A and B are shown apart, each in its own frame.
Chain A
Amino acid sequence: MKLTAEASGGALVVSLGEARLDAAIAIQFKDRMREMLLQPSPRVVLDLSGVGFLDSSGLGAIVSVMKGLGPERKLELRGLTPNVEKVFRLTRMDSVFSIQPQAHQSGLRDAG
């Protein structure tokens, strides 16, 4: 699984380089994230811009990672693609996570 971490602007930014965060890799994702988050950083940003598909197993894994951070550390999400954003919205989990707005609004075109 491709998972990379770098310190940026006082946060640890973890990027998942997988097209899918689903039942096939959810457990592995949780385990690898747990290892990476041993690095002390009060803010953790999970960049999902490469992920085009998330199912409820993947969502559960992200929740589990946030719970593992404990009360003092926060997990922020960024780069949600439309399908991934929809899963957060339908399950109301968008109200639980702090989700950074998209940097570029691609796909918005003036039809007129």
Chain B
Amino acid sequence: MLAEQAQLPANESDLRHKAQRDIFHRRFSAEPHAVRGALRASVARFARQISQEEAGALELVLAEVLNNIVEHSYAGGSEGVISLSIVRDLSGLSCAISDDGVPLPEGCLTPPNLPEIAVATAQLPEGGFGWYLIHDLTQDLGYRREDKQNLLAFRLPIGAPQNC
């Protein structure tokens, strides 16, 4: 009995504090400077709980996903809104991103090969790295199209919680 009680949070304020530390949610317009702001805020939220390298991977993956939405899903056109949620759990960060743009092409969900780089300088690829990086750095990448919305979800593995 006593042991069970000891595992319960001391009070509601502790619970709220924990939720604020472990969950990030933001809605923002699909344009590059708003994306920058969301990236900065999401990395800042988890900065004390993850290593610098993990923070770098988080920012890179989110940047690739969000840039794709700005450039392709909304095609740089009319004002779109992106919703980003991140939840910290014991083994990583679960991320979910939704938008109301055009459906994601099916090919994006297949892990791609790197573009061919053993070529003459003039033929070097300038794109095609984004989805490679997303697949390379994430786990359990999943996609759903529902009610004219795109929902992309994935996990970023993170080491054991750090004591700060």
Contacts and interface: CB of A to CB of B under 8 A. Distances in A.
A72 to B, nearest CB: 11
Contacts of A22: 32, 36, 63, 67
A23 B126 contact: no
Interface residues of B, number: 29
A56 B121 contact: no
B70 interface: yes
B63 A92 contact: no
Nearest to A62: B126
A11 interface: no
B152 interface: no
Given A24-B32, A67-B122, A59 B53 contact: no
A32 interface: no
A59 B33 contact: no
B60 A95 contact: no
30 contacts: A22-B63, A22-B67, A23-B70, A23-B71, A24-B35, A24-B36, A53-B56, A56-B129, A56-B133, A60-B125, A60-B126, A67-B122, A67-B126, A71-B121, A71-B122, A82-B53, A83-B56, A83-B60, A86-B53, A87-B60, A90-B136, A90-B137, A91-B114, A91-B117, A91-B132, A91-B133, A92-B114, A92-B117, A96-B117, A96-B124
Interface of A: 20, 22-24, 53, 55-57, 59-61, 63-64, 66-67, 71, 82-83, 86-87, 90-93, 95-96
